Structure 1
Amino acid sequence: MLQELLQKIEQKEYTVGIVGLGYVGLPLMWTFHQEGLPVLGFDIDEEKISCIEEGRPYIKHLGEDMMQKLAGSERCGATTKFDRLPEADAVLLCVPTPLDEHREPDMQYVERTCFTVGENLRKGQLVILESTTYPGTTEELIIPILESKSGLTAGEDFYVAYSPEREDPGNPDFNTSKIPKVVGGHGEEAIKLACALYDTAIVQTVPVSDTKTAEAVKITENVFRAVNIALVNELKVVYQQMGIDVHEVLEAADTKPFGFMKFVPGPGLGGHCIPIDPFYLTWKAREYEQNTRFIELAGEINTSMPQYVINRTLRALNAHKKAVNGSRVLVIGLAYKPDVDDMRESPTFKILDLLKNYGADVSYYDPHIPEIKPTREHAEWTGTKSIAWTESAVRDFDAVIISTDHSDIDYRELAEWSECIVDTRDAMNGYSKGPDHIWQA
Structure 2
Amino acid sequence: MPADLAVIGLGHLGLPLAQAAVAARIATIGYDPARAADLAGGRLPCDGAEGTLTAADVRRMLSGGFRPTTNPVELGRVRTAVICAPTPAAADRSLDLTQVAEAARSLAARLRPHTTVILESPAYPGTTEEFLRPILEQGSGLRAGRDFHLAYSPGRLDPGNRLHGYAGTPKVIGGLTPACTESAAAFYGRLTDKVVRARGPREAETVHLLETNYRHVNMALVNEMAVLCHDLGIDLWDVIRCAETKPFGFQAFRPGPGVGGHGVPLDIPAPSRGARPLRMVELAQQVNDRMPQYVIQRSATLLNEHGKSARGARVLLLGVTYKPDLADQQGAPAQEVATRLMEMGAAVSYHDPYVPNWSILGRPVPRADSLYEAAADADLTILLQHHRTYDLQGLAVKAQLLLDTRGATPAGAAHRL
| TM-score, normalised by the number of residues in structure 1 | 0.89
Q: Structure 1 residue 63: deviation in Å?
A: 4.1
C-alpha separation in 2, matches of 1:267 and 1:395: 23
Secondary structure of 2:356's aligned partner: coil
C-alpha separation in 1, matches of 2:363 and 2:28: 33
Confirm whether residue 429 of structure 1 aligns to residue 397 of structure 2: no
C-alpha separation in 1, matches of 2:307 and 2:369: 27
**AA aligned opposite 2:12:** Y
Residues 194-216 of structure 1: CA deviation (Å, up to 9, x unaligned): 00000011111101111011000
- Give the 3 Å change call, closer, same or farther, for CA 341–319 of structure 1 in structure 2: same
Residues 118-154 of structure 1: CA deviation (Å, up to 9, x unaligned): 1222222111110111100001100011111222211
Confirm whether residue 355 of structure 1 aligns to residue 337 of structure 2: no
Where does the alignment leave 5 or more consecutive residues of structure 1 unmatched? Answer: 1-12, 433-437
Q: Name the structure 1 match of 2:86.
A: 96
Q: How do residues 34-433 of structure 1 correspond to structure 2 at under 5 angstroms?
A: 34-46=23-35, 48-54=36-42, 59=50, 61-63=52-54, 65-73=56-64, 75-273=65-263, 276-278=264-266, 281-284=267-270, 287-372=273-358, 380-381=361-362, 384=365, 386-430=367-411, 432=413
C-alpha separation in 2, matches of 1:415 and 1:408: 14
- Give the 3 Å change call, closer, same or farther, for CA 270–188 of structure 1 in structure 2: same
Q: Name the structure 2 match of 1:18.
A: 7
- Give the 3 Å change call, closer, same or farther, for CA 277–109 of structure 1 in structure 2: farther
Relative to total residues, which structure has the larger helix share, 1 or 2?
1
Q: Indicate if the aligned counterparts of 2:403 and 2:415 stay in contact, CA closer than 8 A.
A: yes
Q: Indicate if the aligned counterparts of 1:53 and 1:78 stay in contact, CA closer than 8 A.
A: no
Q: Indicate if the aligned counterparts of 2:11 and 2:86 stay in contact, CA closer than 8 A.
A: no
Q: Indicate if the aligned counterparts of 1:55 and 1:69 stay in contact, CA closer than 8 A.
A: no
Q: Indicate if the aligned counterparts of 1:133 and 1:277 stay in contact, CA closer than 8 A.
A: no
Q: Indicate if the aligned counterparts of 1:370 and 1:385 stay in contact, CA closer than 8 A.
A: no
Q: Indicate if the aligned counterparts of 1:163 and 1:182 stay in contact, CA closer than 8 A.
A: yes
Residues 9-38 of structure 1: CA deviation (Å, up to 9, x unaligned): xxxx96111011122111111111111211
Give the alignment partner of residue 30 of structure 1, picking from 15, 19, 29: 19
- Give the 3 Å change call, closer, same or farther, for CA 138–61 of structure 1 in structure 2: closer
Q: Structure 1 residue 56: deviation in Å?
A: 6.6
C-alpha separation in 2, matches of 1:95 and 1:272: 12
Residues 279-333 of structure 1: CA deviation (Å, up to 9, x unaligned): xx24348732413111111111111111111100010110111111121211111
C-alpha separation in 1, matches of 2:170 and 2:211: 13
C-alpha separation in 2, matches of 1:133 and 1:56: 26
- Give the 3 Å change call, closer, same or farther, for CA 67–129 of structure 1 in structure 2: same
Corresponding residue pairs, total: 413
C-alpha separation in 2, matches of 1:54 and 1:220: 36
C-alpha separation in 1, matches of 2:342 and 2:260: 20
C-alpha separation in 1, matches of 2:364 and 2:213: 34
Secondary structure of 1:178's aligned partner: coil
C-alpha separation in 1, matches of 2:187 and 2:21: 9
Q: Structure 1 residue 88: deviation in Å?
A: 1.8
C-alpha separation in 1, matches of 2:105 and 2:27: 24
C-alpha separation in 2, matches of 1:50 and 1:62: 14
**AA aligned opposite 1:198:** Y
Q: Indicate if the aligned counterparts of 1:43 and 1:80 stay in contact, CA closer than 8 A.
A: yes
**AA aligned opposite 1:420:** L
Q: Structure 1 residue 50: deviation in Å?
A: 3.4
C-alpha separation in 2, matches of 1:431 and 1:225: 29
**AA aligned opposite 2:276:** Q
- Give the 3 Å change call, closer, same or farther, for CA 354–42 of structure 1 in structure 2: same
Secondary structure of 1:62's aligned partner: coil
C-alpha separation in 2, matches of 1:385 and 1:127: 46
| TM-score, normalised by the number of residues in structure 2 | 0.93
C-alpha separation in 2, matches of 1:113 and 1:83: 13
C-alpha separation in 2, matches of 1:385 and 1:209: 52
Where does the alignment leave 5 or more consecutive residues of structure 2 unmatched? Answer: none
Q: Indicate if the aligned counterparts of 2:314 and 2:379 stay in contact, CA closer than 8 A.
A: yes
Secondary structure of 2:403's aligned partner: strand
Secondary structure of 1:367's aligned partner: coil
- Give the 3 Å change call, closer, same or farther, for CA 55–364 of structure 1 in structure 2: closer
